[in-house]
Structure 1
């Protein structure tokens, strides 16, 4: 008690926190940043109900939900549902004569040389696809009214079948959605308001019926899964003390509220991989690189993304199952079967291969001593001394002898010693990933030498420098917490909606005022969506794109439009330039068509500010020890310094060969390369700098 009459003084203000959680198939990653700049990371096993893993992860990170001011979340719920096809009963209603569009698709095959390989079946069985008479022509004029008697009969049948959702896909609804809306009203009257109904003209107003129907169906089948998930996570976090909206990361690199996720469920189908692409771009820009390639390498797969001039490469058509496209805008990520658990094997011709088969986490690589007997990339790394006999800060022990025994399966047939077989294993694995980088860079008109490689995930920092060297990439960046970098990406995004409208017109005859009116209409719709998400007017921004193509083509190219449309000449010039970059070809004397208008409505959310560490010009790196390790191009093992990343101060320089260990990853610095710890504690490795 105070004896001088003064009060006890104000209580210290508790730090507010921002929380990001990325739920993966094996682990759930947690990243926390408080208002004082303190960072906390945690990793917990994923659970059957992903929300349990979210709550467990928050508990492991010692989160008080009442202190959380912003919670963003990436999830694999939608992706896993599409992969496993674990759906609730759904149905589709379409125009008479178009019941089989989903099966016909584009009439192509995944493997054009295999006439017997069956394509994956549609998400909705034929017996659950119903047809009704109606017809609207390409101008939007009604030729035949909706047969409402048949519509009500279909609704009664669907009620008996106890369907959970219905897709309404009429043939020319993209230009006039009147019949679809009426069909949806009839379904809601008979089936009740709790049934999820998706109409194609609202979901994806696209002329190509295959893309439009497929996207709407994907949205429909995921709605009964995402709706209870979104509501449950909102309820449980609210009960725990969280007061703001849960923000769910979607495929386009933005976030949306649970209410919006219910309507556009298919946008969550690429939620998890988008987070890593966003984070890799962010860390590259911290280091001063506007051009970057992201390499997110885990235990089973590697996800590769690209950002040029600060813009992540996007795609408007992607798929989980081949032949069933989802046409919501998405960050373009190339995924290949290359990870720490990828198995090394010999094909029938005796050639060495790596992946896509994986030992996974169970039984895992042979060195885990948990039942795995096949040689993997992790086994090769432990044999070569690049990984020690303990991982995760000593929590997981590795058995080098088991790795040697497994690698004998490669060494003996190829008449190599175990070190040579291990080096060959990594060379093939790195070549596979380098080829994937070429597909997303060189094949798109980009020179990898102009980019930085951001290596993250549990295995990315192990392989990053070797992949960069094969592609002549000059620098590799390893973020501070590679294993939870995707979770960091969840924290770096805005609320985002993409609103589109078909617009067929020759560029030469298009009137700027008509195009401007089209954009104005789309911006109004985008503003309405953001308002429903609770975004304030001052936090709204709008980006415009015109999809254009040379006359006679069916593929189009999205061209960013800077500001108000007063002339078509500027977007036309951008189109020719971007087309040449993408296809190494341009024809300025050939007619160009405007195909579609798009507005990206963005609700800006507060971004984290990571603390900047003062550089100590006299900083020294003190190794914790040394071990022998083998590297490509060196016939004998080299004495390799070992460091704990947590002990490395900002400003320190480390010359290879060296290995930097941390809780969630291991970074390898080959001989001749130099690593630098920057002011944000990234590791920047410059190839050949020594």
Structure 2
């Protein structure tokens, strides 16, 4: 018998989602599991799930992992003592930021504290021109002196970011070599390795954060790897990135910053895969978990990407899926503000103590409590019956806040849901309308534990006619890890006007980056013939302060092709363009991809042998009334089932609500498509 296995685990704020993929003689088998997250020691939930699902780790080729460890290390300031070497005169870069003020009306506003304190920022006497020419040579003696001070202070991680190092790596490379010689156990991160890109603050901030969290993330992954090895695992660990791809563990040292905010990215990858299976390419994803709602827009199967990102007020300039996040999840707490208005979130009950109905000590009303109160989450069927709910506790906390606002518990339960929907709709508008896209032209893909609970109501309010709820909706982030390609992004700043850029210039620049990419990927164990490349440039009108990314599936033939494409991208984003203005290339970008072999997963089919629909009728609070509602078990639906709302379709990982004016149809791969009936 031929057996191959893949194990995927994604750590969320409330639950850790796990999927075991087995290829047994060419036939796909998937086993799924949800376990409570363990925020203080996140690997414990992964190991718990592994022990429950995996009795034999032999023949397991890959462990795919999505984790919030890097993000939490920044948010909670639990990185390591980190030093930063910068060009003399630029020691205050992290404090100055861009000189802006996030809230101009806050008289007591304070900029976020940088992850590297000012006393550990060391100015270095050196200088390069913007063309990479040496103006002031680097002093080896000064670097060795600084290294001695760092060693005395017990610094374990050092970042290096010199002015204009994107044009020449000479000084950073020399400084890194010296520090590694002087402090053997120190992790040294130089900007030329991870972000050879202009804009001094963004590059410095990215290097600082990478250095701050690199030892934490490396220690975590190595600990997890050793625990899996003790169980017989001999394969490779791949870590999810914020660009939707994964990287091997060996690439982590240079790519730590790319794992920040990566949790929602795997879900987007899974959503794109599932949508393509049913012939849909233009989608808006809605991932509602325990603590947040994440929204991403995808055109023709390609998610929007952003390179201007922040975490806790600190810039991260690596490519990330353009995901809009709001604090609206199943654990979001309902509360009354100073003006007597009902609010939901962003505070969350999280995994511990969780919503009141989870019976873990939670005492505040949450969205999950409102859903349990309304009868949409049934006590013995939540998460496949693995987590018993107590609606009585929900009634108690909902009643308390209802009394505070002088309304009935019924009205309060539905009001909590409506406020949550309004918060989430704002995220959808930010991801679509405010970027120049009409949400009505897209299909909403809902997943996460609570996504399918809310999706139809939210889509209906936005004028969207169709919702796709994928099979494994509650575990789609883990599923996304299974189907994610191995991706590594490269960038290089080189400024020139399109009219002055020759075809040879374009070809030489991209081929130089491509050679570097091939060398890296071969060192990680991948074959040259398996690599695919995507090309892009960041361009702007001459005199503009910021640029737009222009994508190509080939190396652009000349500057005119880039100019014409930029005019189109500018019009799509801002509603106008200026063909009379010169276009300037700022950055060259290369995406290197090792496509995953997803043939078996692509062939997933729903083959449950059920003759007819089976359901029970129970009361549920909808539209101010307790109505008869049909409850179905997802895995017991017959092929081609068509379900009229109001109905609830329950799965071990999620619950799908079909409102009264909607119809749900089962697809060949087990997913559901909900469509709004025409008036």
What is the aligned partner in structure 2 of residue 296 from structure 1? 287
Q: Which residue of 2 aligns with 1:9?
A: none
Cα deviation, residue 496, structure 1:
1.4
The one of 107, 118, 137 equivalent to 2:99 is 107
Change (3 A) 1:177 1:454: same
Q: Does 1:141 align with 2:129?
A: no
Residue 650 of structure 1: how far off its partner (Å): 2.5
The superposition leaves residues 208-245 of structure 1 with CA deviations (integer Å, 9 ceiling, x where unpaired) of: 11001001111111221122333334444344333332
**Match in the other structure for 1:688:** 677
Q: What residue in structure 2 maps to residue 17 of structure 1? A: 5
The corresponding residue for 1:460 is 451
Residue of structure 1 aligned with 2:348, choices 352, 358, 370: 358
Provide the secondary structure at the position in 1 that maps to 2:259: helix
Match among 620, 623, 636 for residue 612 of structure 2: 620
CA offsets, 1:608-662, max 9 Å, x none? 5234436899953111x11122323xx5322111111121122111111111122
- Checking the alignment, whether the CA contact within 8 Å between 1:617 and 1:651 is kept in structure 2 is no
SS at match of 1:226: helix
- Give the paired residue count: 673
Residues 1:631 and 2:622 aligned together = yes
CA–CA separation in structure 1 for the residues paired with 2:107 and 2:619:
52
Q: Secondary structure at the match of 2:260?
A: helix
Deviation, structure 1 residue 393:
2.9
Note if contact 1:430-1:467 (Cα within 8 Å) is conserved in structure 2. yes
Whole-angstrom CA distance in 2 between matches of 1:464 and 1:146:
58
Q: Is the 8 A contact 1:137 1:143 kept in 2?
A: yes
Contact 1:96 1:134 in 2 (8 A): yes
For 2:228 and 2:396, the matched residues in 1 are separated by 48
- TM normalised by structure 2 equals 0.95
Given that 2:13 and 2:37 are in contact with CA atoms closer than 8 Å, whether structure 1 keeps it comes out as: yes
Paired residue for 2:259? 268
Deviations 1:341-398 (A, max 9, x none): 2222232222222211222233332333444333222222222222223323334333
How far is the alpha carbon of 1:271 from its aligned partner?
2.5
Structure 2 equivalent of residue 545 of structure 1: 536
Partners of 1:533 and 1:422 in 2: CA distance: 53
Kindly indicate whether residue 656 of structure 2 is the aligned counterpart of residue 667 of structure 1: yes
1:120 to 95, 112, 115: 112
Q: Which has the larger radius of gyration?
A: 1
- Residue deviations 1:266-310, cap 9 Å, x none? 111122221111111211222211011111111221111221111
User: Residues 318-397 of structure 1: matches in 2 within 5 Å?
Assistant: 318-322=309-313, 324-390=314-380, 391-397=382-388
Q: Which residue of 2 aligns with 1:7?
A: none
Shift of 1:414: 4.5
Partner residue, 1:591: 582
Q: 1:616 to 1:487 in 2, by over 3 A?
A: closer
Q: Structure 2: 5+ residue runs without aligned partners?
A: none
Moved >4 Å (runs of 4+)? 614-619
Structure 1 residues 40 and 614, CA gap change in structure 2 (3 angstroms): closer
1:488 and 1:243, CA in 2 relative to 1: closer, same or farther beyond 3 A? same
Give SS of 2:587's match. strand
Deviates most, 593-602 or 267-276: 267-276
The answer to which of 636-645 and 238-247 deviates more is 238-247
2:429 — aligned with what? 438
Q: Is the deviation greater in 413-422 or in 200-209?
A: 413-422
What is the alpha-carbon distance in structure 2 between the residues aligned to residue 594 and residue 672 of structure 1? 50
Displacement after TM superposition at 1:678 (Å): 0.7
Inter-CA distance 589–389: structure 2 relative to 1 (3 Å threshold)? same
1:146-295 alignment to 2 at 5 Å? Answer: 146-192=138-184, 194-295=185-286
What SS does structure 2 have at the residue aligned with 1:187?
helix
Measured in 1, the distance between the counterparts of 2:606 and 2:365 equals 44
- Please point out which of 641, 644, 659 is paired with 1:652: 641
Change (3 A) 1:613 1:120: same
Which ranges of structure 1 fall in alignment gaps of 5 or more residues? Answer: 1-12
User: In structure 2, what is the Cα distance between the partners aligned to 1:24 and 1:404?
Assistant: 27
Q: Is the 8 A contact 1:619 1:652 kept in 2?
A: no
Does the Cα contact within 8 Å between 1:92 and 1:128 map onto a contact in 2? Answer: yes
How far residue 557 of structure 1 moved from its aligned partner, in angstroms, is 1.0
What is the rounded CA distance, in whole Å, between the counterparts of 2:88 and 2:606 in structure 1? Answer: 69
Question: 1:502-560 deviations in whole A, cap 9, x for unaligned?
Answer: 12111122112111110110110111111111111221011110111011112111111
The question of 1:32 aligning with 2:23 is answered no
TM-score, normalized by length of structure 1?
A: 0.94
Pick closer, same or farther for the CA change 1:350–1:226 going to 2, 3 Å: closer
CA distance in structure 2 between the partners assigned to 1:663 and 1:482 by the alignment = 10
